[in-house]
């Protein structure tokens, strides 16, 4: 039965129509693929700017170059095979290659986009975790983190017979500073104290806010003698610091503060967190009672050797 009268595009005319439509479809696929590859450079570049200088950043810079090379090869294919040259029953490669290029472009775009989203998510989670354990005023760890780490370090010191010392410092006459200069300057003093303590501590030490104007340092794997050396150096650096409140001109009014410091260590009588806390608080009270701006060690004879 001859259906050419019913379907005008059947037979040779129909084949020509189908081939022309396929030409346009594959050409459109190639153009869209090229645009997708260009778009993939956007998340890749944003990701590189968010990464700190490191091997991972260098790897993504190499990947961006490879994306550009892929785009160049894609455009070369377009220039050579524009609209597919599909006449006269072309080979299967004329159909497959544009599809492969298009799927490759989609893959590159998805990888770059998902990598950027993952990096942003990790960065936000890291910032959130850091904020949840950081005191916003002093810029050091908060009390919650201190309690967690102190419990861990005391258990480790007792179990493995390792030395552990804790240092507790308090600003002398801090209320007088607030009354004389105002609470804004008082906050500035606390912030400065946090920075000075961090600068003096080791990377392995834990510096955290213990109370209103009290800071505790967990000196891991440190004998009492080492804690005393550290505390004296810290006390002197704070006493010598000339704190210039924000807004004060050069040579303007400065604030001088001193701190009293107590030291305790894990020993036969201080093998638990409550006992160690009581010991260091008692040492701090004795430092204040003896005139302030001094370091006092509580019961060093019971400390672990």
The full set of domain ranges for the chain reads 11-132, 143-302
The pLDDT value given to residue 81: 64
Cα Dmax for the chain? 117
Helices (H) and strands (E) in the chain, counts: 8, 5
**β-bridge partners, 167:** 217, 263
The pLDDT value given to residue 298: 86
Whole-number average pLDDT of the chain: 83
Which is higher by pLDDT, 168 or 244?
168
Side by side, the strands of the sheet bearing 259-265 are: 206-209, 214-220, 164-171, 259-265, 295-297
The pLDDT value given to residue 27: 73
- Per cent of the chain over pLDDT 90 is 47
Dihedral angle over CA of 20, 23, 24, 28, nearest 10: 170
The pLDDT value given to residue 76: 80
The pLDDT value given to residue 265: 95
Measured CA to CA in angstroms, residue 148 lies from 145, 206, 271, 273 at distances of: 5, 11, 16, 11
- How many whole angstroms separate alpha carbon 209 and alpha carbon 30? 61
Q: Determine the 3-state secondary structure of 272 from DSSP.
A: coil
CATH code of the region 143-302: 3.30.70.270
The whole-number average pLDDT for the span 246-271 is 85
The whole-number average pLDDT for the span 128-145 is 85
Q: Determine the 3-state secondary structure of 195 from DSSP.
A: helix
Measured CA to CA in angstroms, residue 293 lies from 72, 170, 287 at distances of: 70, 9, 8
pLDDT(206) > 90: yes
Active-site residue set: 213
The whole-number average pLDDT for the span 277-291 is 96
The whole-number average pLDDT for the span 163-174 is 96
Give the number of other Cβ atoms within 10 Å of residue 29's Cβ: 17
């Amino acid at each position: 039965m001859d259906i050419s009268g019913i379907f005008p595009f059947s037979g040779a005319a129909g084949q020509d129509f189908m081939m022309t439509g396929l030409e346009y479809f594959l050409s459109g696929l190639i153009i869209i693929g090229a645009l997708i590859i260009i778009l993939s450079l956007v998340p890749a570049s944003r990701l590189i700017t968010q990464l700190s200088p490191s091997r991972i950043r260098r790897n993504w810079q190499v990947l961006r170059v490879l994306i550009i090379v892929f785009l160049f090869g894609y455009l070369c294919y377009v220039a050579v095979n524009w609209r597919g040259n599909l006449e006269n029953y072309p080979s299967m490669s004329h159909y497959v290659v544009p599809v492969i290029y298009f799927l490759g472009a989609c893959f590159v775009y998805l990888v770059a986009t998902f990598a950027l989203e993952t990096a942003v998510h990790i960065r936000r989670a890291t910032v959130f975790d850091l904020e949840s354990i950081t005191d916003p005023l002093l810029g050091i760890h908060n009390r919650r983190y201190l309690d967690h780490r102190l419990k861990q370090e005391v258990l480790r010191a007792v179990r493995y017979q390792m030395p552990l010392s804790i240092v507790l410092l308090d600003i002398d006459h801090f209320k007088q500073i607030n009354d004389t200069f105002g609470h804004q300057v008082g906050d500035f003093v606390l912030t400065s104290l946090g920075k000075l303590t961090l600068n003096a501590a080791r990377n392995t030490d834990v510096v955290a806010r213990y109370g209103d104007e009290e800071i505790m340092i967990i000196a891991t794997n440190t004998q009492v003698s080492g804690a005393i050396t550290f505390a004296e150096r810290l006390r002197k650096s704070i006493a010598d610091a000339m704190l210039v409140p924000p807004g004060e001109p050069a040579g303007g009014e400065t604030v001088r503060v001193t701190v009293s410091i107590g030291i305790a260590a894990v020993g036969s009588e201080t093998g638990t967190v409550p006992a160690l806390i009581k010991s260091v608080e008692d040492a701090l009270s004795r430092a204040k009672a003896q005139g302030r701006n001094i370091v006092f060690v509580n019961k060093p004879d019971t400390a672990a050797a």
